[in-house]
Amino acid sequence: MHKIVKIILVVVGLIGAALWFMLPEAEMPASEAANNGALNAMFAITWLLLGIAVVFSLVFALKNLFSNPANLKKTLFVVVGFLIVVGIGFVLSSGTDVSIEEMAARGIPTDESEIKRIGAGLNVFFILTLIAVGAMLWGGVRKMIK
């Protein structure tokens, strides 16, 4: 299996190298370059490889997760904790952080629920940042005490 993967990677690498030399010149207008077949093929290969990497990462992560009950329990605690942080962030967001009229004047159609979701995302970011800084400080202080 390992040998087959290496052969596939070499073939994909050679295809990518061939497509590299078929890319449009730098002087070509962007509108024409966007329709270049070599460029589109390179994007397709990139998306394909990214999809394969994501699928294999998820499969092996889930396999390792379900193979050890202790890991599954820890993961469930982390997921529930994250959902609690998201809930707290959503409750703390008011939905009136930005003026809807000002956003409409700038050409960005929005409503109060969208602003509330954006505020919730910012709150979650800040809460997780505080947790990360607190964990680093806690670890540093614990190490200094020992």
My answer on whether 3 and 58 are in the same domain is: yes
pLDDT of residue 128: 96
Q: Which of 11, 5, 16, 10 is nearest to 41 (CA)?
A: 16
| pLDDT tens digits, 73-111 | 898 999 999 999 999 999 998 877 777 788 788 888 788
pLDDT of residue 4: 86
Structurally, the chain folds into a number of domains equal to: 2
SS3 category, 12: helix
My answer on whether 50 and 25 are in the same domain is: yes
Spatial neighbors of 140 by CB under 8 A, at least 6 apart, are: none
Q: What are the CA-CA distances from residue 88 to residues 57, 85, 137 (Å)? A: 30, 5, 23
Structure tokens at 55: 């699928």
Q: Considering 67, 101, 120, which residue would you say is the last residue of a domain? A: 67
My answer on whether 146 and 81 are in the same domain is: yes
My answer on whether 81 and 116 are in the same domain is: yes
54 pLDDT band, cuts 50/70/90, is very high
My answer on whether 56 and 109 are in the same domain is: no
Q: Which of 113, 80, 78 is nearest to 96 (CA)?
A: 113
pLDDT at 21 over 80: yes
My answer on whether 98 and 49 are in the same domain is: no
Write down the H helix ranges in the chain: 2-21, 30-33, 37-67, 69-92, 100-105, 112-145
My answer on whether 54 and 106 are in the same domain is: no
Mean pLDDT calculated for residue range 106-131: 89
Whole-number average pLDDT of the chain: 87
My answer on whether 61 and 103 are in the same domain is: no
Q: Considering 67, 94, 118, which residue would you say is the last residue of a domain? A: 67
Range(s) of the domain holding residue 44? 1-67
Rounded to whole angstroms, the Cα distance separating 46 from 52 reads 10
Rounded to whole angstroms, the Cα distance separating 39 from 53 reads 21
My answer on whether 77 and 59 are in the same domain is: no
136 pLDDT band, cuts 50/70/90, is very high
HSE toward the beta carbon, residue 84, CA cutoff 13 A: 6
My answer on whether 17 and 73 are in the same domain is: no
My answer on whether 82 and 53 are in the same domain is: no
My answer on whether 1 and 54 are in the same domain is: yes
